[in-house]
Protein backbone atom coordinates (compact mmCIF):
# COMPACT_ATOMS: atom_id res chain seq x y z
CA UNK A 1 0.00 0.00 0.00
CA UNK A 2 1.27 3.45 -0.97
CA UNK A 3 0.11 6.71 0.59
CA UNK A 4 -0.75 8.86 -2.45
CA UNK A 5 -1.94 12.42 -2.97
CA UNK A 6 -3.86 13.06 -6.22
CA UNK A 7 -4.37 16.69 -7.20
CA UNK A 8 -7.15 17.72 -9.55
CA UNK A 9 -9.39 14.76 -8.71
CA UNK A 10 -12.57 16.69 -9.54
CA UNK A 11 -11.73 16.36 -13.25
CA UNK A 12 -12.49 13.26 -15.33
CA UNK A 13 -8.94 11.90 -15.45
CA UNK A 14 -7.97 12.87 -11.90
CA UNK A 15 -11.13 11.32 -10.47
CA UNK A 16 -10.54 8.12 -12.42
CA UNK A 17 -6.91 7.91 -11.25
CA UNK A 18 -7.91 8.41 -7.61
CA UNK A 19 -10.66 5.79 -7.91
CA UNK A 20 -8.27 3.27 -9.48
CA UNK A 21 -5.70 3.80 -6.72
CA UNK A 22 -8.38 3.28 -4.06
CA UNK A 23 -9.53 0.11 -5.83
CA UNK A 24 -5.92 -1.10 -5.88
CA UNK A 25 -5.77 -0.79 -2.08
CA UNK A 26 -3.75 2.43 -1.73
CA UNK A 27 -4.29 5.15 0.88
CA UNK A 28 -5.54 8.02 -1.28
CA UNK A 29 -5.93 11.68 -0.41
CA UNK A 30 -7.12 14.23 -2.98
CA UNK A 31 -6.62 17.99 -3.28
CA UNK A 32 -8.85 20.19 -5.41
CA UNK A 33 -11.19 23.16 -5.08
CA UNK A 34 -14.41 21.14 -5.35
CA UNK A 35 -15.28 17.68 -3.99
CA UNK A 36 -13.80 14.74 -5.85
CA UNK A 37 -16.58 12.39 -4.74
CA UNK A 38 -14.19 9.44 -4.98
CA UNK A 39 -15.42 6.77 -2.60
CA UNK A 40 -12.68 5.68 -0.24
CA UNK A 41 -10.46 8.74 -0.77
CA UNK A 42 -10.02 11.54 1.76
CA UNK A 43 -10.78 14.92 0.19
CA UNK A 44 -8.83 18.05 1.04
CA UNK A 45 -10.55 21.15 -0.32
CA UNK A 46 -8.12 23.81 -1.48
CA UNK A 47 -5.95 25.16 -4.27
CA UNK A 48 -2.47 24.05 -5.21
CA UNK A 49 -1.53 27.74 -5.07
CA UNK A 50 -2.25 27.80 -1.30
CA UNK A 51 0.89 26.74 0.52
CA UNK A 52 -0.96 25.98 3.76
CA UNK A 53 -3.48 23.70 2.03
CA UNK A 54 -0.75 21.95 0.05
CA UNK A 55 1.38 21.44 3.15
CA UNK A 56 -1.45 19.66 4.89
CA UNK A 57 -2.29 17.61 1.81
CA UNK A 58 1.26 16.25 1.26
CA UNK A 59 1.86 15.48 4.95
CA UNK A 60 2.78 11.78 5.36
CA UNK A 61 2.38 11.06 1.63
CA UNK A 62 4.87 8.82 -0.17
CA UNK A 63 3.78 9.79 -3.68
CA UNK A 64 1.97 12.55 -5.58
CA UNK A 65 0.09 12.34 -8.87
CA UNK A 66 -0.28 15.94 -10.02
CA UNK A 67 -3.14 16.62 -12.44
CA UNK A 68 -4.51 19.96 -11.20
CA UNK A 69 -4.22 22.67 -13.87
CA UNK A 70 -6.07 25.42 -15.64
CA UNK A 71 -7.03 23.71 -18.90
CA UNK A 72 -9.63 25.98 -20.52
CA UNK A 73 -8.94 27.14 -24.08
CA UNK A 74 -8.98 30.83 -23.19
CA UNK A 75 -8.47 33.17 -20.26
CA UNK A 76 -6.01 35.69 -18.83
CA UNK A 77 -2.39 34.56 -19.00
CA UNK A 78 -2.02 35.43 -15.31
CA UNK A 79 -4.51 32.71 -14.37
CA UNK A 80 -2.55 30.05 -16.27
CA UNK A 81 0.69 31.30 -14.72
CA UNK A 82 -0.74 31.28 -11.19
CA UNK A 83 -2.14 27.75 -11.34
CA UNK A 84 0.02 25.85 -13.82
CA UNK A 85 3.40 27.35 -12.94
CA UNK A 86 2.98 28.83 -9.47
CA UNK A 87 0.85 25.96 -8.18
CA UNK A 88 3.28 23.35 -9.46
CA UNK A 89 6.16 25.20 -7.80
CA UNK A 90 4.31 25.25 -4.45
CA UNK A 91 3.46 21.56 -4.73
CA UNK A 92 7.03 20.55 -5.60
CA UNK A 93 8.49 22.59 -2.75
CA UNK A 94 6.07 21.16 -0.20
CA UNK A 95 6.49 17.62 -1.52
CA UNK A 96 10.26 17.85 -1.11
CA UNK A 97 9.91 19.28 2.39
CA UNK A 98 7.49 16.48 3.36
CA UNK A 99 9.82 13.72 2.14
CA UNK A 100 7.64 12.58 -0.78
CA UNK A 101 9.50 9.94 -2.76
CA UNK A 102 7.66 9.83 -6.11
CA UNK A 103 6.04 12.62 -8.10
CA UNK A 104 4.07 11.88 -11.28
CA UNK A 105 3.68 15.16 -13.15
CA UNK A 106 0.85 15.05 -15.70
CA UNK A 107 1.74 17.24 -18.67
CA UNK A 108 0.68 17.47 -22.33
CA UNK A 109 2.32 16.87 -25.73
CA UNK A 110 1.36 20.47 -26.53
CA UNK A 111 4.38 21.59 -24.47
CA UNK A 112 6.59 20.56 -27.41
CA UNK A 113 4.20 21.40 -30.27
CA UNK A 114 5.22 24.53 -32.17
CA UNK A 115 2.47 24.47 -34.80
CA UNK A 116 3.94 22.00 -37.27
CA UNK A 117 2.79 18.43 -37.87
CA UNK A 118 4.15 15.77 -35.52
CA UNK A 119 4.61 12.46 -37.35
CA UNK A 120 5.69 9.53 -35.19
CA UNK A 121 7.23 11.98 -32.74
CA UNK A 122 8.73 11.16 -29.37
CA UNK A 123 8.70 13.18 -26.17
CA UNK A 124 10.72 16.20 -27.31
CA UNK A 125 11.83 18.64 -24.59
CA UNK A 126 9.20 21.10 -23.39
CA UNK A 127 9.56 24.45 -25.18
CA UNK A 128 8.03 27.28 -23.10
CA UNK A 129 9.07 29.92 -25.63
CA UNK A 130 7.54 28.37 -28.77
CA UNK A 131 4.63 26.26 -27.43
CA UNK A 132 1.32 27.50 -28.78
CA UNK A 133 -1.07 29.29 -26.44
CA UNK A 134 -1.15 30.15 -22.76
CA UNK A 135 -2.05 26.66 -21.61
CA UNK A 136 0.77 24.96 -23.54
CA UNK A 137 3.39 27.55 -22.60
CA UNK A 138 2.59 27.45 -18.90
CA UNK A 139 2.38 23.66 -18.88
CA UNK A 140 5.80 23.65 -20.56
CA UNK A 141 7.20 25.85 -17.80
CA UNK A 142 5.66 23.66 -15.12
CA UNK A 143 7.17 20.57 -16.72
CA UNK A 144 10.62 22.20 -16.73
CA UNK A 145 10.17 22.97 -13.03
CA UNK A 146 9.12 19.40 -12.28
CA UNK A 147 12.04 17.77 -14.06
CA UNK A 148 14.46 20.22 -12.43
CA UNK A 149 13.25 18.93 -9.04
CA UNK A 150 14.09 15.32 -9.90
CA UNK A 151 16.67 13.92 -7.51
CA UNK A 152 16.47 16.83 -5.06
CA UNK A 153 15.79 15.90 -1.41
CA UNK A 154 15.10 12.32 -2.46
CA UNK A 155 12.23 13.23 -4.80
CA UNK A 156 11.89 11.20 -7.99
CA UNK A 157 9.94 12.92 -10.77
CA UNK A 158 8.44 11.35 -13.88
CA UNK A 159 6.47 13.30 -16.51
CA UNK A 160 3.57 11.71 -18.40
CA UNK A 161 1.96 13.52 -21.33
CA UNK A 162 -1.40 11.90 -22.15
CA UNK A 163 -2.60 13.15 -25.52
CA UNK A 164 -6.23 14.25 -25.99
CA UNK A 165 -7.81 12.18 -23.23
CA UNK A 166 -11.51 11.46 -23.75
CA UNK A 167 -14.28 9.20 -22.56
CA UNK A 168 -17.81 9.19 -21.16
CA UNK A 169 -18.51 12.37 -19.21
CA UNK A 170 -15.58 14.22 -20.77
CA UNK A 171 -16.24 17.96 -20.95
CA UNK A 172 -13.05 18.88 -22.83
CA UNK A 173 -13.01 17.05 -26.17
CA UNK A 174 -16.31 15.14 -26.24
CA UNK A 175 -18.33 17.88 -24.54
CA UNK A 176 -17.10 20.59 -26.91
CA UNK A 177 -17.51 18.42 -30.02
CA UNK A 178 -21.07 17.51 -29.03
CA UNK A 179 -22.09 21.08 -28.19
CA UNK A 180 -20.75 22.45 -31.46
CA UNK A 181 -22.12 19.61 -33.58
CA UNK A 182 -25.56 19.96 -32.02
CA UNK A 183 -25.65 23.68 -32.86
CA UNK A 184 -24.17 23.22 -36.35
CA UNK A 185 -20.87 24.93 -35.43
CA UNK A 186 -18.48 22.02 -36.02
CA UNK A 187 -16.84 22.29 -39.43
CA UNK A 188 -14.05 20.05 -40.66
CA UNK A 189 -10.88 22.07 -41.18
CA UNK A 190 -9.25 21.47 -44.55
CA UNK A 191 -9.77 17.96 -45.93
CA UNK A 192 -9.89 16.44 -42.44
CA UNK A 193 -7.17 13.97 -43.40
CA UNK A 194 -4.63 14.94 -40.72
CA UNK A 195 -3.85 11.93 -38.51
CA UNK A 196 -4.48 12.54 -34.82
CA UNK A 197 -3.67 10.32 -31.84
CA UNK A 198 -5.98 10.30 -28.82
CA UNK A 199 -6.12 8.45 -25.50
CA UNK A 200 -9.15 6.70 -24.05
CA UNK A 201 -9.47 7.61 -20.39
CA UNK A 202 -8.98 4.09 -19.00
CA UNK A 203 -5.71 3.78 -20.91
CA UNK A 204 -4.49 7.11 -19.54
CA UNK A 205 -5.33 5.95 -16.01
CA UNK A 206 -3.42 2.71 -16.53
CA UNK A 207 -0.39 4.65 -17.80
CA UNK A 208 -0.35 7.03 -14.84
CA UNK A 209 -0.63 4.19 -12.35
CA UNK A 210 2.15 2.38 -14.21
CA UNK A 211 4.31 5.52 -14.00
CA UNK A 212 3.72 5.70 -10.26
CA UNK A 213 5.15 2.19 -9.89
CA UNK A 214 7.77 2.34 -12.65
CA UNK A 215 11.39 1.40 -12.11
CA UNK A 216 13.58 4.26 -10.79
CA UNK A 217 15.51 4.22 -14.07
CA UNK A 218 12.37 5.47 -15.86
CA UNK A 219 12.19 8.58 -13.71
CA UNK A 220 13.62 11.97 -14.66
CA UNK A 221 12.13 11.77 -18.17
CA UNK A 222 8.95 12.73 -20.07
CA UNK A 223 6.78 10.16 -21.83
CA UNK A 224 3.93 10.68 -24.30
CA UNK A 225 0.91 8.41 -23.83
CA UNK A 226 -1.68 7.67 -26.53
CA UNK A 227 -3.85 4.82 -27.77
CA UNK A 228 -1.35 4.42 -30.61
CA UNK A 229 -4.19 4.42 -33.16
CA UNK A 230 -3.95 7.64 -35.19
CA UNK A 231 -7.09 8.35 -37.19
CA UNK A 232 -7.98 11.09 -39.70
CA UNK A 233 -9.55 13.94 -37.76
CA UNK A 234 -12.72 13.76 -39.88
CA UNK A 235 -13.11 10.10 -38.91
CA UNK A 236 -12.46 10.81 -35.24
CA UNK A 237 -15.03 13.62 -35.12
CA UNK A 238 -17.57 11.47 -36.96
CA UNK A 239 -17.06 8.63 -34.48
CA UNK A 240 -17.55 10.86 -31.45
CA UNK A 241 -20.63 12.50 -32.98
CA UNK A 242 -22.20 9.18 -33.96
CA UNK A 243 -21.58 7.73 -30.50
CA UNK A 244 -23.06 10.85 -28.90
CA UNK A 245 -26.15 10.99 -31.09
CA UNK A 246 -25.43 14.35 -32.73
CA UNK A 247 -25.04 15.28 -36.42
CA UNK A 248 -21.78 14.31 -38.09
CA UNK A 249 -19.98 17.40 -39.49
CA UNK A 250 -20.18 17.74 -43.27
CA UNK A 251 -19.10 21.33 -43.89
CA UNK A 252 -15.41 21.98 -44.67
CA UNK A 253 -13.56 25.23 -43.98
CA UNK A 254 -10.07 25.93 -45.40
CA UNK A 255 -7.51 25.41 -42.65
CA UNK A 256 -5.70 28.67 -43.38
CA UNK A 257 -8.93 30.63 -42.94
CA UNK A 258 -9.70 28.82 -39.69
CA UNK A 259 -6.28 29.62 -38.27
CA UNK A 260 -6.64 33.28 -39.22
CA UNK A 261 -10.10 33.42 -37.67
CA UNK A 262 -8.76 31.73 -34.56
CA UNK A 263 -6.07 34.39 -34.20
CA UNK A 264 -8.66 37.18 -34.51
CA UNK A 265 -10.93 35.55 -31.96
CA UNK A 266 -7.99 35.06 -29.59
CA UNK A 267 -7.34 38.79 -29.72
CA UNK A 268 -11.01 39.68 -29.26
CA UNK A 269 -11.46 37.49 -26.20
CA UNK A 270 -8.15 38.68 -24.74
CA UNK A 271 -8.92 42.38 -25.10
CA UNK A 272 -12.72 42.63 -24.76
CA UNK A 273 -15.03 41.58 -21.91
CA UNK A 274 -16.66 38.80 -23.93
CA UNK A 275 -18.52 35.96 -22.17
CA UNK A 276 -17.73 32.27 -22.33
CA UNK A 277 -15.23 30.70 -24.70
CA UNK A 278 -14.52 31.80 -28.28
CA UNK A 279 -15.99 29.52 -30.94
CA UNK A 280 -12.44 28.91 -32.22
CA UNK A 281 -8.87 29.70 -31.22
CA UNK A 282 -5.61 29.58 -33.16
CA UNK A 283 -4.45 26.67 -30.98
CA UNK A 284 -7.61 24.63 -31.61
CA UNK A 285 -7.47 25.37 -35.35
CA UNK A 286 -3.87 24.13 -35.49
CA UNK A 287 -4.72 21.03 -33.47
CA UNK A 288 -7.58 20.14 -35.83
CA UNK A 289 -5.70 20.75 -39.06
CA UNK A 290 -2.20 19.37 -38.43
CA UNK A 291 -1.14 15.79 -37.83
CA UNK A 292 0.04 14.84 -34.38
CA UNK A 293 0.72 11.20 -33.63
CA UNK A 294 3.48 9.66 -31.58
CA UNK A 295 5.90 6.75 -31.40
CA UNK A 296 4.87 4.79 -28.29
CA UNK A 297 7.69 2.22 -28.11
CA UNK A 298 9.80 4.10 -25.56
CA UNK A 299 6.78 4.83 -23.35
CA UNK A 300 5.59 1.25 -23.35
CA UNK A 301 9.04 -0.13 -22.61
CA UNK A 302 9.71 2.32 -19.76
CA UNK A 303 6.31 2.02 -18.08
CA UNK A 304 5.62 -1.63 -18.84
CA UNK A 305 2.24 -0.49 -20.15
CA UNK A 306 0.08 -1.08 -23.20
CA UNK A 307 -3.40 0.36 -23.87
CA UNK A 308 -6.17 -2.16 -23.22
CA UNK A 309 -9.15 -0.26 -24.67
CA UNK A 310 -9.06 0.25 -28.44
CA UNK A 311 -10.40 3.40 -30.05
CA UNK A 312 -13.40 1.52 -31.45
CA UNK A 313 -14.12 -0.09 -28.08
CA UNK A 314 -13.92 3.36 -26.49
CA UNK A 315 -16.44 4.75 -28.98
CA UNK A 316 -18.75 1.82 -28.23
CA UNK A 317 -18.48 2.59 -24.51
CA UNK A 318 -19.25 6.24 -25.23
CA UNK A 319 -22.34 5.23 -27.22
CA UNK A 320 -23.55 2.95 -24.41
CA UNK A 321 -23.02 5.72 -21.85
CA UNK A 322 -24.91 8.20 -24.06
CA UNK A 323 -27.83 5.76 -24.34
CA UNK A 324 -27.96 5.38 -20.54
CA UNK A 325 -27.90 9.16 -20.07
CA UNK A 326 -30.73 9.62 -22.56
CA UNK A 327 -32.78 6.84 -20.96
CA UNK A 328 -32.41 8.32 -17.47
CA UNK A 329 -33.43 11.74 -18.76
CA UNK A 330 -36.54 10.46 -20.52
CA UNK A 331 -39.88 11.27 -18.83
Query: Could you give the C-alpha distances from 141 to 75, 199, 260, 291, in angstroms and in order?
Result: 17, 23, 27, 24
Of 135, 200, 219, 223, which one is the catalytic site residue?
A: 135
Q: Is 200 marked active-site?
A: no
For 9, 79, 184, 259, the CA distances from 264, given in Å and listed in that order, are 34, 21, 21, 9
Kindly compute the dihedral angle of the four CA atoms of residues 197, 200, 201, 205, in this order, to the nearest 10 degrees.
Answer: -80
Interatomic CA distance for residues 199 and 217, integer angstroms: 25
Judge contact between 290 and 194, C-beta under 8 A.
Answer: yes
The C-alpha angle 141, 143, 149, rounded to 5 degrees, equals 110
Catalytic residue numbers read 135
Amino acid sequence: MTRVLVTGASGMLGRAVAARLVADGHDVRTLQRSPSRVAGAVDVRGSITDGHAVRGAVRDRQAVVHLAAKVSITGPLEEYETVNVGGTRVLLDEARAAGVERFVHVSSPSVAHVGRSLLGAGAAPADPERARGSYARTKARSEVLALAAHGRDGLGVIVVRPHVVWGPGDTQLVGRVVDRARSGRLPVLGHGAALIDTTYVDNAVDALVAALHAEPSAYGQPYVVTNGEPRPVVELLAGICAASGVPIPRRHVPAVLARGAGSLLDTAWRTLPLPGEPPLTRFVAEQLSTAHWFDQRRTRDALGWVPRVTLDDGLARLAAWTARQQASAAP
